[in-house]
Amino acid sequence: MESEMKERLEELKEKNKKIISETKIKNNILLNECIEALGNYGNILCDKDSKYVYHIFQKIPFLPWGVDWQKFQNSISLNKIEEIPEVCEKEEFYIIWSNELPIINSSLYKILDCIEDICAVEADTWLLSNDFNELIEFHHEGKITFGRVIV
């Protein structure tokens, strides 16, 4: 009987977490504008897939203020968004903010078309290629950095 109660309590906790998360997303006006801008070209990952991608993303070396680009052999500082397609080899990317927000999958060209809406969601935004080999950081100070990663 006690194990059934514990199991039920865990179920209720998970439901509560999901409701809180969904409410945060619904109330995040900037996130909703971003999703609307991406339209059919933005796929919000399910919780399981988001957790997996975020787990891989966390293996990237970070400093308190952003990616530790000195740990990369081939990072490039970009002066403008238009330079991104010149350095990227990949076409599909995950859009990542903090771990409290969903991860969205989209094509690089649609992302670049909607980049203002995407970067407005949070101060720092990262694009990680679907094969986890390319990373773009839109830093809160306005810097754009590209690098190839091995995770």
Report which of 148, 147, 101 is spatially closest to residue 122, judged by C-alpha positions: 101
pLDDT at 43: 93
- Rounded Cα–Cα distance for residues 101 and 70 (Å): 27
pLDDT at residue number 111: 97
Tens digits of pLDDT across the chain (151 residues): 688 888 888 888 888 877 877 777 788 899 999 999 999 999 999 889 999 999 999 999 998 888 999 888 789 999 999 999 999 999 999 999 987 789 999 999 999 999 999 999 999 999 999 999 999 999 988 899 999 986 5
User: How far, in Å, CA of 61 to CA of 145, rounded?
Assistant: 14
> What are the sequence ranges of the domains in the chain?
2-148
What's the pLDDT score for residue 1? 65
In sequence order, the 6+-apart residues with CB closer than 8 A to the CB of 135 are 60, 67, 126, 127, 128, 129, 146, 147, 148, 149
